[in-house]
Amino acid sequence: MFSFKPDRSQYPAAGEDGKLEIDLETGKYLKLWQGPNHPGITGNMSVELTVCGDEVVKGTTHVGYLHRGFEKLMERRTFIQVFPIVCRVCVPEPDFNEYCYAAAVEDLAGIEVPEYADWMRTLILEMGRFNSYMMFLGGIGGALGLGITGQWMTYLRDIMLDRFEELTGARIYHMFILPGGVRGHLPEGFEGRMEEVLDTAERYLADIDRVMFSNSVFKTRTQGVGYIDPALFEPYGVTGPNARAGGVAKDLRKDSPYLVYDQLDFDVVTHTDSDIWARSNVRRQDVQVSIDLIRQILRKMPKTGPAMAKIPNVLHWKIPRGETYIRGECSRGEYGYYLVSDGSGYPRRINVRGPSYTHAMALLEHMIPGTNISDVAALMVSLHTYPPEIER
């Protein structure tokens, strides 16, 4: 029905230094701030748009609204005291922080985690991934004016949080993966209740397919929009579903299996179009992968066994001098913890690699020029941005 072809002649020319020549005095251009408080922004960051009519000629990303200094805070905590902090780095999918931190400490301290704990960690991470995708599917619908998906996905996320609550004792910050293992075993009857959640999720997701993925409005607004050239993946550090949507079948769960992923059966979902549509589809199908994985894990995991390895007294736990980088495939791509220990009871340096850092700060700026103002929100959501992990 509509075809949108931007007229490049209206755009400002680039100067000799490559920078755009924008003169606001002319009245031709307008500065528009999207965020930090804006429904079209995921979390606390902002995009400074320079628009010409409703076309965006330049976008600058701004972060710093959410800076809590976690990495510095961790340097002032003992190794065990870092444990309650890490999950707060990323609110919607906190478990990766717990896992990466714990695995990093275990790696340096030379601790072998019991098998049961490995299975439990995998379960927790997949549950977390499910929740994270719920946020995405709700968010991408919301960014394009499809309110109902947000409501349904919030419900699905909520019943998954119920499972988190009964398993870990908390809904948001689970604090379940301790260095050395996990804090407990599955409650009785957990498998049955989890199956109910997964069943419900599948029914609702079928409706998502109808209302979103079989929706001409959604298609029109996403297909061909927000295209990322796969050549940019490497220079921009694009990983996870964003890269897979561009045909790169990279998934750390497959490529360098951690925990028990080598004992699980699953496929890596890819797409070729590399636009918002492709990224949404990859995630939609990846939810199904997570659902299947959760079922598999519950079926295959040992019923008993120690949940914790024997660890030294945590009150004066000194980690041997050394450095390590632990990574895993989170819902947004490669999540990693770089831990340096100087042999004392405090981490010398912890660096968190959140995928949103590269996706939303650098890549987004590159993608924005030439889009329509109303597409910026969908663009940002399609990268699956979580500002907290940008600002540690």
Q: 66 or 308: whose CB is closer to another protein?
A: 308
Q: 30 or 311: whose CB is closer to another protein?
A: 311
- Residue 70, amino acid: F
- Going by C-alpha positions, the residue among 363, 118, 374, 103 that lies closest to residue 243 is 363
Asked if 196 interacts with another protein (CB under 8 A), we say no
Tokens encoding 390: 């940008």
Asked if 304 interacts with another protein (CB under 8 A), we say no
Asked if 142 interacts with another protein (CB under 8 A), we say no
Choosing from 311, 361, 362, 373, the residue that interacts with another protein (CB under 8 A) is 311
Strand order in the sheet with 322-330: 322-330, 333-341, 347-353
Q: What is the DSSP letter of 264?
A: S
**DSSP conformation letters of 96-131:** HHHHHHHHHHHHHHTPPPPHHHHHHHHHHHHHHHHH
Q: 52 or 311: whose CB is closer to another protein?
A: 311
Asked if 215 interacts with another protein (CB under 8 A), we say yes
Q: 80 or 339: whose CB is closer to another protein?
A: 80
Q: Which stretch binds another protein (CB under 8 A): 75-83, 100-108, 127-135, 351-359?
A: 75-83
d(CA 241, CA 160): 22
CB 244 within 8 A of CB 270: yes
Asked if 173 interacts with another protein (CB under 8 A), we say yes
Asked if 313 interacts with another protein (CB under 8 A), we say yes
Choosing from 183, 295, 348, 349, the residue that interacts with another protein (CB under 8 A) is 183
d(CA 80, CA 58): 45
Q: 202 or 255: whose CB is closer to another protein?
A: 202
Tokens encoding 343: 């042999």
Choosing from 187, 235, 305, 320, the residue that interacts with another protein (CB under 8 A) is 187
- Going by C-alpha positions, the residue among 54, 381, 99 that lies closest to residue 241 is 381
Asked if 44 interacts with another protein (CB under 8 A), we say no
Choosing from 105, 109, 307, 339, the residue that interacts with another protein (CB under 8 A) is 307
Q: What is the DSSP letter of 363?
A: I
Tokens encoding 26: 């002319």
Q: Quote the longest CA-to-CA distance of the chain.
A: 72
How many residues are listed for the chain in this entry? 392
d(CA 218, CA 145): 9
Q: 44 or 220: whose CB is closer to another protein?
A: 220
d(CA 32, CA 29): 10
The CB-of-136 to another protein minimum distance in angstroms stands at 19
Asked if 99 interacts with another protein (CB under 8 A), we say no
Tokens encoding 264: 């699980």
Asked if 344 interacts with another protein (CB under 8 A), we say no
Asked if 166 interacts with another protein (CB under 8 A), we say yes
Q: 73 or 373: whose CB is closer to another protein?
A: 73
Q: How far is CA 199 from CA 166, 323, 384, in A?
A: 18, 43, 25
d(CA 109, CA 315): 15
Asked if 148 interacts with another protein (CB under 8 A), we say yes
Asked if 184 interacts with another protein (CB under 8 A), we say yes
Q: 44 or 223: whose CB is closer to another protein?
A: 223
d(CA 289, CA 133): 11
Q: Which stretch binds another protein (CB under 8 A): 28-36, 246-254, 296-304, 310-318?
A: 310-318
Asked if 220 interacts with another protein (CB under 8 A), we say yes
Q: 174 or 327: whose CB is closer to another protein?
A: 174
- Residue 205, amino acid: L
Asked if 212 interacts with another protein (CB under 8 A), we say yes
Q: 308 or 373: whose CB is closer to another protein?
A: 308
Asked if 195 interacts with another protein (CB under 8 A), we say no
d(CA 152, CA 269): 23
Choosing from 53, 64, 69, 84, the residue that interacts with another protein (CB under 8 A) is 84
Tokens encoding 214: 């079989």
Q: Which stretch binds another protein (CB under 8 A): 14-22, 170-178, 228-236, 249-257?
A: 170-178
- DSSP β-ladder status, 333-341 and 322-330: antiparallel
| Residues making contact with another protein (CB under 8 A) | 1, 77-78, 80-85, 148, 155, 162, 165-170, 173, 175, 180, 183-185, 187, 207, 210-212, 214-216, 219-220, 307-308, 310-316
